[in-house]
Structure 1
């Protein structure tokens, strides 16, 4: 069936004449990483943060701080095209932009530990390790994403088929195949994040600042 799509367009170029589809720009892929300013939130109690982060927390542990990054993937596409004289066939050149990263990216510190205290500093420093892990991971997968998308879409060959169908085919493929693929690559960060929250690290932070944190957790002033 693919030959039936290609043949009419090939007939557009008579012997000695260039293929009209050569007038189109080459297919391209552009990759953009989200570079969003980190935000901080100190509105929640440690009990509320424990509930919010329950799926990520070791059983029986209180969450003093939390880093939440919303994995964001979006594709923008444009398909300049040329329609053959019969109005039945077209050639089109996918121009794709991938925007990916974490948006928003927020660090939470429990309100029981106000900014300026030793406890706030310790908790924030721990959470900044998570922030750094998010950022490094996004940078590390950019090359793989670029190579995979270029191999599929930026081979230099235009798409050919029935008129009006190319843009829909492209969007369907981006939504069904490539957006989930990028999401999976981003989710690989979870393993690295889990290595930060060891039992030893929980104990170190809870007992930091001369017992300042552990006193709050025990309900003492």
Structure 2
């Protein structure tokens, strides 16, 4: 019994080797939405707006108002790391922040329709539906972005590899893969925007205000 007790005591007192990589924070992804700033512009004529919105307007239709969103996405990284004694290998923990959104969102109303007029009100309210579609879409894709990026980068344990390669690989992947991924998700909003600009809506706005709009666009 004395021998067994001595062996047990020795086993307990032997220190266990600790992996210094375990001291690093777990990899993480943080998603931040840009607060949309809405700018208003009444400096352009409806003819100028028709040219500006030619790619989106229905053929033969005049553009009385226009809403444009400037899509933006940026990635920032912090990669705390531990380098082994040889100086050849490292473990690192990517801490990635993605900031995305539309800023600014600019609403144009043709200058032929002064603020306060019935026509201005109709056009403005129509364009604000486009603004709402942008805002809803930006909010809706947040979870999709978070799920996709967390699945790729928030692995639960540090990344291991040759010194310096992890950060370089991350930067390359952000540029070549994830920027275009976010841009594709931005572009899906165009389906909702097209539904707002239905033929029926074009006719409704054009004939609103007892013909005021048609008179000013002849």
TM-score normalised per structure 1: 0.90
Which residues of 2 match residues 69-148 of structure 1 at below 5 A? 69-148=69-148
How far, CA to CA, are the matches of 1:86 and 1:118 in structure 2?
76
How far apart are 1:93 and its partner, in Å? 0.5
**Residues 134-168 of structure 1: CA distance to partner in whole angstroms, max 9, x if unpaired?**
00011111111111111111121211111111111
* Larger Cα-atom Rg: 2
RMSD: 1.0
Q: Which residue of 2 aligns with 1:17?
A: 17
Q: Where do 4+ consecutive residues of structure 1 move more than 3 Å? A: none
Q: Which residue of 1 aligns with 2:31?
A: 31
Q: Which residue of 1 aligns with 2:58?
A: 58
How far, CA to CA, are the matches of 2:166 and 2:46 in structure 1?
52
How far apart are 1:37 and its partner, in Å? 2.1
How far apart are 1:36 and its partner, in Å? 2.4
How far, CA to CA, are the matches of 2:169 and 2:180 in structure 1?
17
How far apart are 1:82 and its partner, in Å? 0.7
TM-score normalised per structure 2: 0.91
Whether 1:155 aligns to 2:155 is yes
In structure 2, list runs of 5 or more residues that go unmatched.
1-14
Q: Which residue of 1 aligns with 2:196?
A: 196
How far, CA to CA, are the matches of 1:108 and 1:51 in structure 2?
13
How far, CA to CA, are the matches of 2:142 and 2:36 in structure 1?
16
Q: Which residue of 2 aligns with 1:6?
A: none
**Residues 93-137 of structure 1: CA distance to partner in whole angstroms, max 9, x if unpaired?**
000011111112100000010111111100000000000000001
How far, CA to CA, are the matches of 2:67 and 2:36 in structure 1?
14
How far apart are 1:178 and its partner, in Å? 1.0
Q: Which residue of 2 aligns with 1:10?
A: none
**Residues paired across the two proteins, number:** 204
Tell me the secondary structure at the aligned position of residue 55 of structure 1. Answer: coil
How far, CA to CA, are the matches of 1:17 and 1:186 in structure 2?
49
Tell me the secondary structure at the aligned position of residue 25 of structure 1. Answer: coil
- Of the structure 1 ranges 157-166 and 125-134, higher mean CA displacement relative to structure 2 is found in 157-166
Q: Which residue of 2 aligns with 1:46?
A: 46
